[in-house]
Copies of this chain bind each other. A is one copy, B any other.
Amino acid sequence: MSIAIVGGTGPEGSGLALRWARAGETIIIGSRDAQRALKTARQLSASAGADKTISGTENRFACSDAEIVVLTVPFAAHAETLKHIKPSLRSGQILVDTTVPLAASVGGKPTRTLGVWQGSAAQQAAELVPEGVIVVAAFHNLAAELLQQEGAIDCDVIVCSDDKDAGKRVRELARKIPGVRALDGGKLENARVVEQITAVLIGLNIRYKGHSGLRITGLPETAYEN
């Protein structure tokens, strides 16, 4: 199984790529610029270890080779990128959307979000992918700075999808990042809230100088196993 990271040269995408490569996943870094993708892939390979498989190519090529496509572009490029990769997506693929519609996308504050007509970036994605491509919203609340470092990450990942099997697969992927626990956040529409939590975390980061995340408390241990 290989994972394409669309926008994989950015901080969130390269951080996820690094963590998954270390866990033994086959990673394809996607970028608008194939040369930049290759450069990032080489840098990440150096960090992840020589036996790890990280390649780099243009976004569209990255998608056609992958079983799971992870979208990690800024919201300003969200719709445009989805339209661009659409011809390379096929029924049965999972598209993991990590995008947060921060107001910073249009020159506003990173502590505010934009209203997306469909309700969330993930729901916008669901409208833009070909039929049969399953959208899963996840990883919004994982700080890129922490992904790029070594060590366990003290954060839970809330996964939202209308497809139970795809959600489960993405939770398994989340658990490959040391420290991360993954939870079923219910339907894709719940990404509305999970995306926006990021704006609050960014505010806390600014106020308190940290890289905040969140842990859900009060659930049985079995909640994190499946």
Binds B, one of A2-10, A77-85, A87-95, A182-190: A182-190
Binds B, one of A16-24, A42-50, A215-223: A215-223
CA separation between A183 and B222, bound complex, in Å? 29
Assess whether A185 is in contact with B203, with CB atoms less than 8 Å apart: yes
* Cα–Cα distance between A189 and B109 once the two chains are bound (Å): 13
For A, the interface residue count at a CB cutoff of 8 angstroms equals 40
Interface residues of A in 112-167 (CB under 8 A from B): 112-113, 143, 146, 154-155, 158
A194 interface residue per 8 A CB criterion: yes
Among A184, A201, A208, A215, find the residue whose CB has the most chain B CB atoms closer than 10 A.
A208
| A204 contacts partner chain B, Cβ-Cβ < 8 Å | yes
Q: How many copies does the complex hold?
A: 2
Contact call A215/B218, Cβ cutoff below 8 A: no
Residue numbers in B under 8 Å from A220 (CB-CB)? 208-210
Q: A interface, by DSSP: helix, strand, loop or mixed?
A: mixed
User: Is A185's CB under 8 angstroms from B213's CB?
Assistant: no
Interface residues in A163-213 by Cβ distance below 8 A to B read 183-186, 189-190, 192-194, 196-197, 199-201, 203-204, 207-213
Please report the C-alpha to C-alpha distance between residue A212 and residue B217 in the assembled complex, in whole angstroms.
5
Asked if B217 and A155 sit within 8 Å, CB to CB, the answer is: yes
Q: Which residues A97-113 have CB closer than 8 A to chain B?
A: 111-113
CA distance A189 to B37 in the complex (A): 39
Which residues in B have their C-beta under 8 angstroms from that of A184?
A: 207
A: residues with CB less than 8 A from B are 111-113, 143, 146, 154-155, 158, 183-186, 189-190, 192-194, 196-197, 199-201, 203-204, 207-220, 222-223
